[in-house]
């Protein structure tokens, strides 16, 4: 190997394997030293930095930070606390290798209390940092998301964003905690994690990635927009990035369904979805229970108007009017669209409208909960605020004035992120009843308009997922590595590996194969259907021959062009 090749191997860790250096990194007593760095330092006459043992990290001094735990965890020995949202770990922790667990608290202000954790493989570190975000109002360390990355050799970092609990009561009277939640905690955690990695391994990460969904998707975009140096590659799934308008729309939806005559009970959702599918499922050439482009559906709820006595198979006039409002989305008195409406064909399922929009009773949905918590504790700072008093014109303006700068991640100017070589992948399920996919399309298009098609194409991709609900689930193929599980561990089937290949090899992803799993928990078995996800604006079209459950029989085309 030439001297130049040797130096390039150090700069580009992906070249280590071919150079024979990949395995040349072993503990020497209590000191771990990268062999490559050691040789270079010796050659330059510079003493290499020694790394610490895991337990030594308890005394590590970092700005505004207190390390509260530094503990070696044996393989399979970690038992996570119960997840407050009931999510199981993606992989049982008994399959997790030995790692060094560091926990601490960051206090950039006197009212900050940002709890964070950094996990580092004791052996076999792949040289990469994986940042992991939070859903909802955060308020907990997302242990359920940590098992897979650490098992794959990543060092990982995450945070509770500075408070405890799943509602927004923590924000009432605590403006600095709102800033921590809005953007500061994720950034501070990334900075501190890299310092901890340097202390433990004797070197920082070669590459850093962040991937999360929902509020985590908002956090992902915050990182790209505010702190472009934190991560080399970012995946933002179903981002709640237009926070002020998303929760304003949610409050508006609650009002649309608040009248008992207008409320749409869960028993009628099946009939609504069936009518939407009958109108639009076949327009993509395949009848499969999935509407591939629901914004082009043109479904008119009036066809469900009861012709006789009311039943679960029809809607009353007030219910038809309410459904049209939900599909259309809110507009203010000047006719301006405040937020997109929800597409037809996504009403049922475990993550459908009964969970997010209609609820089991009026005002009983998740979006009703989130919007009420937001306006009570953050916008009006009045814990007794009544959602019935919501005014679309005045209250959206107030929400924007008070919190848009802190909570919204809508800045389309990603010049700094692009300039330093960053890559961004967005994804969103078309059947998402929590956040309409059109919101992500709108943000993507704003980036293209601001950066130009040519420049945007060099660093950002959007993948829309027909039939997928919020971050996963749904009737369509919905597994493509976004939750750490894929049918094949390669860039063609796993969105995280596609991002890494783009960052490290320069190959942009144009398609990713998604799978619909059956009951078998093994991701390589029980596959019901595969389908290509196409880089927007392209969509998948059946070739006209072969099984419609096999991705190989589809091609990505530009809509209405045939190309």
Q: Tell me the catalytic residues.
A: 214, 432, 470
For the CA atoms of 501, 506, 509, 515, what is the dihedral angle to 10 degrees?
-10
Q: Pull the structure tokens for residue 381.
A: 């700072």
Buried b (16+ CB within 10 A) or exposed e, 261-286: ebbbebebbebbbbbbbebbbeebeb
CA distance 556 to 532: 8
Contact between residue 390 and residue 251 where contact means Cβ atoms under 8 Å apart: yes
Contact between residue 397 and residue 336 where contact means Cβ atoms under 8 Å apart: no
CA distance 425 to 495: 8
CA distance 166 to 173: 17
State how far the alpha carbon of 429 is from the alpha carbons of 271, 435, 528, in Å.
22, 9, 18
Mark out the alpha helices in 452-505 (DSSP H runs). 453-457, 495-505
Contact between residue 331 and residue 337 where contact means Cβ atoms under 8 Å apart: yes
Contact between residue 222 and residue 414 where contact means Cβ atoms under 8 Å apart: no
Beta-carbon contacts of 226 under 8 Å, excluding residues fewer than 6 positions away, are 183, 187
Q: In the 8-state DSSP scheme, what is residue 535?
A: B
State how far the alpha carbon of 355 is from the alpha carbons of 60, 336, 382, 433, in Å.
45, 28, 26, 8
Q: Pull the structure tokens for residue 13.
A: 């860790």
CA distance 168 to 19: 52
CA distance 160 to 466: 31
Nearest to 497 by CA among 122, 237, 235, 212: 235
∠ CA 410-476-500, nearest 5°, is: 55
Left (φ > 0), alpha (ψ -120 to 50) or beta: where does 544 sit? left
∠ CA 175-181-186, nearest 5°, is: 135
CA distance 552 to 542: 9
* Bridge pairing between strands 114-121 and 99-106: antiparallel
């Amino acid at each position: 190997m030439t001297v130049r090749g040797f130096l390039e191997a150090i700069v580009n860790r992906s070249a280590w394997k071919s150079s024979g250096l990949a395995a040349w990194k072993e503990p020497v007593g209590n000191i771990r030293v990268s062999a490559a760095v050691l040789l270079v330092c010796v050659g330059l006459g510079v003493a290499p930095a020694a790394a610490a043992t895991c337990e030594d990290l308890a005394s590590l001094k970092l700005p505004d930070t207190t390390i509260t735990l530094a503990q070696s965890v044996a393989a399979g020995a970690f038992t996570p606390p119960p997840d407050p949202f009931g999510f199981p770990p993606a992989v049982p922790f008994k399959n997790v290798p030995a790692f060094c667990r560091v926990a601490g608290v960051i206090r950039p202000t006197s009212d900050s209390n940002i709890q964070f954790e950094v996990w580092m493989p004791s052996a076999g570190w792949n040289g990469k940092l994986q940042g992991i975000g939070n859903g909802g109002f955060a308020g907990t360390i997302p242990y359920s998301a940590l098992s897979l990355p650490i098992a794959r050799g990543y060092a990982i970092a995450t945070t509770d964003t500075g408070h405890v609990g799943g509602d927004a009561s923590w924000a009432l009277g605590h403006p600095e905690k709102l800033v921590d939640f809005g953007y500061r905690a994720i950034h501070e955690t990334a900075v501190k994690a890299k310092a901890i990695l340097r202390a433990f391994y004797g070197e920082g990460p070669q590459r850093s990635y962040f991937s999360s969904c929902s509020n985590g998707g908002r956090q992902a975009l915050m990182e790209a927009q505010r702190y472009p140096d934190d991560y080399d590659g970012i995946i933002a799934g179903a981002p709640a990035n237009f926070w002020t308008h998303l929760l304003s729309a949610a409050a508006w939806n609650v009002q649309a369904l608040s009248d008992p005559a207008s409320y749409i009970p869960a028993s009628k959702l099946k009939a609504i979805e069936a009518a939407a599918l009958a109108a639009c499922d076949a327009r993509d050439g395949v009848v499969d229970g999935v509407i591939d482009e629901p914004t082009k559906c043109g479904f008119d709820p009036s066809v469900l108007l009861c012709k006789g006595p009311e039943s679960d198979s029809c809607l009353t006039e007030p219910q038809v009017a309410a459904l049209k409002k939900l599909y259309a989305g809110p507009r203010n008195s000047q006719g301006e669209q405040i937020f997109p409406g929800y597409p037809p064909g996504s009403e049922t399922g475990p993550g459908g409208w009964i969970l997010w929009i209609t609820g089991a009773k009026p005002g009983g949905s998740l979006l009703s909960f989130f919007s009420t918590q937001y306006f009570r504790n953050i916008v009006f700072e009045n814990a007794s605020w009544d959602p019935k008093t919501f005014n679309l014109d005045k209250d959206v303006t107030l929400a924007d004035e008070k919190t848009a700068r802190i909570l919204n991640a809508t800045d389309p100017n990603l010049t700094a992120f692009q300039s330093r070589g960053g890559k961004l992948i967005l994804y969103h399920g078309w059947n998402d009843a929590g956040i309409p996919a059109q919101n992500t399309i709108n943000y993507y298009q704003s980036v293209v308009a601001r950066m130009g098609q040519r420049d945007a194409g060099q660093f950002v991709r959007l993948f829309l997922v027909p039939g997928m609900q919020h971050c996963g689930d749904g009737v369509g193929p919905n597994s493509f590595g976004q939750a750490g599980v894929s049918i094949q561990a390669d860039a063609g089937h796993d969105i995280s590996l596609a991002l890494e290949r783009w960052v490290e090899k320069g190959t942009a992803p144009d398609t990713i194969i998604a799978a619909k799993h059956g009951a078998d928990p093994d991701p390589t078995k029980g596959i019901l259907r595969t389908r290509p996800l196409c880089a927007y604006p392209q969509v998948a079209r059946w070739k006209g021959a072969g099984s419609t459950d096999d991705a190989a029989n589809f091609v990505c085309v530009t809509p209405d062009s045939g190309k």
